[in-house]
Structure 1
């Protein structure tokens, strides 16, 4: 009996966690509803007799006693059906053994100490590999950035090479042009030397510009 009661309480606790109520609450509620319905019907019969026959004196007391006896008789008769009702309720709310609550699902699979140690070793191995993969990902990302930068530099170098190659196709500078550039440089140096003093600098600034032709060289 003690074991049955413990099992029943355990089952009710599990039902309460899953449904927010258990089978005993349902049976108690049904019993209360049945009792209220019996009392309501008997009271209506009692009131109908009073309205019909208008009893007085001892008749009223006798009618009240009979009302209570009728309620008790109906209730005792219904109690014989209560075990069947309880059985139906328990079957209706019965939770199969393979169904677990969310907080109990972690207990669905049991492990031995050796299996648990093996799981922990695998977990540590996965964590180590994850760390290595993260570091490798960082290195590869850096290498990718360097490769992209290198490609940009190669593109710039190719553009420079193309510009240089295109410049080679221009005609070579002839001797006359080189001679003109040298003479122009000499004239510039002489003018700067002449204008080195303040007086000469002012005179140079007031001189009218003279037309210069390359054919005068």
Structure 2
């Protein structure tokens, strides 16, 4: 992993256009080729990024850029689309590389892990006719909790949380964006599943076309007698 702290500007073109004006930022280049631009805020979410497969080329600035103080330009080109991220580096403040080795992956806490196992076993909770494809479906930015197929053969990606908040919806959104680039999977529908989903998270999920599913942990384990409930 390469960590670069630099005064830089960036421009993203392709399916959308976005611009980051000149500022000091952290540029992260991962071993899988992904490039992420971070500010000193905004939690874990990058300001802009390019997911693999992509290639990064460092080129000299043209005359106009050089006059603006650009020392070098990073051109990050996606190999399967026209998406391109161009980073104009004005000044490098820090530049280091580290070999992180093989990561064992995220180990979920007991309840989340159990919810994932139970939902995989009771995939019908997504709706009649759904079929489990795989748990912990791997992607370049982390594993999707559950990948399934709906009755029409469409792909369904499920993110599972104990308490569903906005961060969980953002996480699922990134998975959907990445999975949707795979022609063997696209189009991909998202389901945000949790024991409790906060109202703000539900609004955001609905706005992005993501379905919400409230999971009853006790009922899924078979320790809750639904016939004895008053409500």
Smaller-chain TM-score range? under 0.3
With structure 1 as the length reference, what TM-score do the two structures score? 0.18
With structure 2 as the length reference, what TM-score do the two structures score? 0.17
Kindly name which structure, 1 or 2, has the bigger radius of gyration based on alpha carbons: 1
Larger proportion of strand? 2
Which structure has the higher relative contact order (CA within 8 Å, separation 6+)? 1
